[in-house]
Amino acid sequence: MSSSIDDVTPRQPDEDFTDWPGLARVPQSTRLRVRAWAADKLFRRAASRLPVRVEYPDGSVIGARADSDILPRMIIRRPDAFAERVGARGLIGFGESYMAGDWIAPDLAGVLTIFASRMAQLVPAPLQRLRSIAVAGPPASELGSEENAQSNISAHYDKSNDLFALFLDSTMTYSSALFGEPQVVGTTDDRTDLVAFVADPPSWEELEAAQERKIDRLLDSAGVGPGSRVLEVGTGWGELCIRAASRGAIVRSVTLSREQQELALKRVAEAGHGAAVQVDLLDYRSVTGEYDAIVSVEMIEAVGHKHWATYFGALDKLLAPGGKVALQAITMPHDRMLATRNTYTWIQKYIFPGGFLPSTKAIETVAAKHTTLRVRERLALGPHYAETLRLWRERFDAERGKAAELGFDKVFRRMWQFYLGYSEAGFRSGYLDVEQLVLVRDEVKA
């Protein structure tokens, strides 16, 4: 009789998986045992070429410089379960094996940065060409349609405002900070490119000012001032609304998170801007009106590549003549975006259902093809996100006892640590970037 991927053998590792039944059962079948064997061989082969120490229970250690005691350590506690999960679910299984405690790392972000820096080379090229066959695509229930959008957003942002307050600074800003002024690195007739450098690792005490600097730069780029009609697509917890209203702007912000809407309205009222700010529980596709400035911070990642044309079309329709759009967007290399756009990832399964990162080229191409909007300025600040995430991760680790008091169990806390470390590694390795982009109508020169 043939076995399916759902044929499993229960395991009883040292965790309580009451709320995580999918982790308690390590995939097992004849076919999957072959895949586990292959996954183990591929992983050992890849790790043997990397500057990392991978330690096994039998005392063996692999890595390009395994004898070094200063390399990031990846400690495999349950080799069989680790290989079985990775063999069955690829990179999803890699993350699940950390959640389950099959492996641990004293410097999780350091280990993940090593792997992220070689992401395109970890799997041999012949096997990469089989991705569409071997790797499942996102489930239809998580695609970024109007019917699915609210449940996708709610799955992440409605976990608990108290959870996010554990690791965010007092501005409750959940996007990359800007720890210094950017520098111009290139100018053409059509666009100015800027880059922001981080000289020294910033401290927690610098984060609040850096978040305010990031928001103010976006508002400046969009030309927000007294009397400006501002639309914010993706509210967060209200800090951008507050800072725009403090300039004398009239602000409408839309979100699909009830928890964010509730806290944003409270914070706006406490700041004395209740009369100038409207926060609606509304999909971007349903917004009406005309706005002098549209600002959207790290929201395009939730749209999904099949809906980018709709997203930019909505911005184009809502922008008043002479207006500007200021976006902050997490980006990835265009070739990796094309290779992974139909792949279901650990981040999508556990953190951001329906999410997908664009490339800068994709943003420019979609906007040019489907709208009158054109990118006129780009600011790259990827290293700033690495430091922002480091500060969040360190704060979350310090507050993990409070997370437990809020009802988030050990598996969830491991999941959140992996999410923050995984994201930090993406930016620290350069695999990911984050950019502020200014878009104007084709006939307007910024």
The overall average pLDDT reported for the chain is 89
Residue 1 has pLDDT above 60, yes or no: no
Residue 373 has pLDDT above 60, yes or no: yes
Give pLDDT tens digits for 229-262.
999 999 999 999 999 999 999 999 999 999 999 9
Confidence label for 181 from pLDDT (cuts 50, 70 and 90): confident
Confidence label for 217 from pLDDT (cuts 50, 70 and 90): very high
Phi-psi region of 411 (alpha: psi -120 to 50; beta: other; left: phi over 0): alpha
Q: Which two tokens stand for residue 19?
A: 């709320």
pTM metric for this prediction: 0.91
Give pLDDT tens digits for 259-284.
999 999 999 999 999 999 999 999 99
User: Under a CB-based contact definition with an 8 Å cutoff, are residues 380 and 196 in contact?
Assistant: yes
Total length of the chain: 446
User: Under a CB-based contact definition with an 8 Å cutoff, are residues 76 and 102 in contact?
Assistant: yes
Give pLDDT tens digits for 109-147.
999 999 998 765 666 555 555 545 556 677 766 666 676
C-alpha distances (whole Å) from 7 to each of 33, 88, 136 are 11, 11, 17
Q: Which two tokens stand for residue 315?
A: 């911005």
What local confidence, expressed as pLDDT, does residue 200 receive?
86
Residue 5 phi, psi (nearest 5): -65, -15
Domain with CATH 3.40.50.150 in the chain: 142-441
Output 181 or 92, whichever has higher pLDDT.
92
Q: Is 22 helix (H, G, I), strand (E, B) or coil?
A: helix
142-441, CATH topology level? Rossmann fold (3.40.50)
